[in-house]
Amino acid sequence: MKYTVRTILIFILLTVGSTMDAQSIRPVRDNVGFCWTPEQMNILMDYIQANESENQFDSNGLVAGISPHDDHLYAGRIYYPLYKMIHAKEVVVFGVTHGTVRRAMNDPQDKLIFDSYDYWHGPYGNVEISELRQFVTDRLPADEMMVSNKAQDIEHSIEALVPFLQYYNRDFNLTPIMVTGMSFNRMDQVSDNLGRIFREYIQQKSLTPGKDIFFLISSDLNHYGEDFDNAPYGKDSAAHAEGTANDQKIARTAFSGKLTSEKIKNLTEMLWNEGTSDTIARPLWCGQYSIPFGLLTTMKTLRAVSDKSLSGKILRYSDTWTEGVLPIERTSLGTTAPFSLEHWVGFLSAGFYLK
């Protein structure tokens, strides 16, 4: 049977079209607070870089980080110093499971939440999901995980990071993991299993941590105000100073210097009310589970693939009241919550290095 050039071209187009239709793309959750077009992201980054000091951050040995996920107009300066140093082909992101997800999903606990999308949206094109996700879900015990596109659709703490990752690396692969509430013992168990799987993948692929694969943890810090049911210091400038000072004290204690399991457990004791009888006012960090779990997993993963220890450094800290809104024009970017002395959110960026 003979085929004309026209017939062959039509067949190719139909085949490509049907393949694209079969590929699934996670929908954007927040199209107000985050940049989803090249124009938005370029304008934002041009402004930040033009107003950035000459201080240089050390990228040598950087393998992991903690990032904010607040609106880009609030936290853009805080994202910046970390992401300019991330150029790995593979990025694992440990995200939060916010209250909106917990309410919609009957509050899943003691497990990790994965999705089954082929791509996630990015401002410069779709971001491909890494084969690492399937590698993990094929091996992680069933009672330690669930796959739910619905949960990932509702959650915004991972998608917020994608535009900054893609600005510096247009061709990275993503492994998104939501962390639910769990005890420290459970966290220790699940991170043992996940770390073992990550090590196996890294060794099979001959990946170099930091260069080929990067571990990123999403979290904003204290959510302060009566509407958060969290205003132990009052609602004036002195209260703001005390609240932000406490955030920074906890961050210095947990994220500066050599990282250990004891230091991570101590962080949970500073953030969690579970299992305590004291009346200390604990800050409301939305990453109270994603941070310790992400750090435990990263530490356990790298311990077996490197003879160096993991050491942390705070890159930048601020909050919505101190930062205000970046004066970006000619975009449709906005903010999704107010900022005032009666309602503010803290955030930081931190780096973790093999030293």
pLDDT band at 19 (very low <50, low <70, confident <90, very high): very low
CA atoms of 281 and 36, how far apart (whole Å) = 37
Instruction: With a cut of 60, say whether residue 4 has pLDDT above it.
Output: no
Q: Please, are residues 296 and 352 in contact by the beta-carbon 8 Å criterion?
A: no
Q: In the prediction, which pLDDT does 9 show?
A: 44
Q: In the prediction, which pLDDT does 196 show?
A: 97
Per residue in 230-287, pLDDT (tens digit) is 999 999 999 999 999 999 999 999 999 999 999 999 999 999 976 555 556 799 999 9
Type of residue found at 336: T
> CA nearest 344: which of 221, 218, 238?
221
pLDDT band at 91 (very low <50, low <70, confident <90, very high): very high
CA atoms of 57 and 349, how far apart (whole Å) = 12
Tokens of 224: 């302060």
Neighbour-count burial of 312, counting CB atoms closer than 10 A to its CB (0-12 exposed, 13-18 middle, 19+ buried):
buried
Q: List, in order of start, the domains of the chain with CATH numbers.
A: 5-354 (3.40.830.10)
Q: In the prediction, which pLDDT does 280 show?
A: 67
Strands 62-67 and 223-224: unpaired
Taking residues 77-91, what's their average pLDDT? Answer: 97
Q: In the prediction, which pLDDT does 273 show?
A: 79
Q: Please, are residues 215 and 66 in contact by the beta-carbon 8 Å criterion?
A: no
Is residue 269 helix, strand or coil? Answer: helix
Taking residues 193-222, what's their average pLDDT? Answer: 98
Instruction: With a cut of 60, say whether residue 200 has pLDDT above it.
Output: yes
